[in-house]
Amino acid sequence: MEYTSGAASWQKALRRLVAGLLPRRPRQRRPGWSIGVPLIAAAAGLLFTTTATTAGGTNLREDRRPQLTELIEDRRAQVAANEERAATLRKEVESRTADLADSDGPIREQQERGTASLATAGFTELTGSGMTVVLDDAPRLNNLPDGATNDDLVVHQGDVQAVVNALWAGGAEAMSIMNVRVLATSAVRCVGNTLLLHGRVYSPPFKIVAIGDPAALRQALAASEGVRWFRDAVDNYQLGYQELSGTVTVPAFEDSTTLRSATVPQ
């Protein structure tokens, strides 16, 4: 019994020694868990970084409309300052050109030629018989009419364009929108319920003034399909529409005349 017990103890010790010399078998891990943990950590870090960058150190739920309003006002002030400086430079150029024309025949000849074309090109203020058309959004309604949306209660780009095109078709000699002279190259754009004209933004009501025969202008407005659609919306959604005849004045064109693109007519 002593021998058997000693042999058992010897065998047990031998097994421990062999186990200590052999490398331990690594524990098996689930491949999905080992891959998923780094990916989740990376995604979380990316999310936190994006959130911090977007917030810019501020609360994401913070109402930033006051900041946007301030930015718009700053840009408007910059545009007004640039326009004032441009007007001063134009007057300086005109003054120096007039001085040269007194002693230079070719310059005087070209100046007279240009002056004769100012009215046709829209660079002089004009006064005469004509019409004023005013388009306005509908008042705020607590309950919208059946089938109507908020989009139906505002003046759109197509509405302004319909009035402008009808007045040109009715023989308008000159025109202005929001007291800004418009030419054949002027583009009317609407962003939401605001009007974008020559880089400046205007809010409704939109006033369009045209010089021409009032009877012909009124008839052209009545014949325009787009204007008729807007008048129907006036009745249905309380949009604003006015036509006024009388003596009107349109200002001179004062924006840039730089030609950015042109095509040769075929």
- What are the pLDDT digits (tens) for 190-211? 877 788 888 788 889 999 999 9
Q: pLDDT tens-digit profile of 115-165? A: 777 777 777 889 999 999 999 998 876 677 777 778 888 899 999 999 999
Predicted confidence at residue 72, as pLDDT, reads 75
pLDDT score of 44 more than 90: no
pLDDT band at 3 (very low <50, low <70, confident <90, very high): very low
What is the C-alpha separation between 189 and 181, in angstroms, rounded? Answer: 15
pLDDT band at 235 (very low <50, low <70, confident <90, very high): confident
What is the C-alpha separation between 256 and 86, in angstroms, rounded? Answer: 9
Please state, rounded to an integer, the average pLDDT across all residues of the chain.
78
List the structure tokens of 242. Answer: 């006015």
Confirm if 191 and 220 have CB atoms less than 8 A apart.
no
Q: What is the mean pLDDT of residues 79-100?
A: 82
What is the C-alpha separation between 228 and 208, in angstroms, rounded? Answer: 17
Which stretch of 59-63, 134-138, 140-144, 221-225 has the lowest confidence by average pLDDT?
Answer: 59-63
What is the C-alpha separation between 156 and 151, in angstroms, rounded? Answer: 9
Higher pLDDT, 81 or 6: 81
Predicted confidence at residue 12, as pLDDT, reads 59
Higher pLDDT, 6 or 152: 152
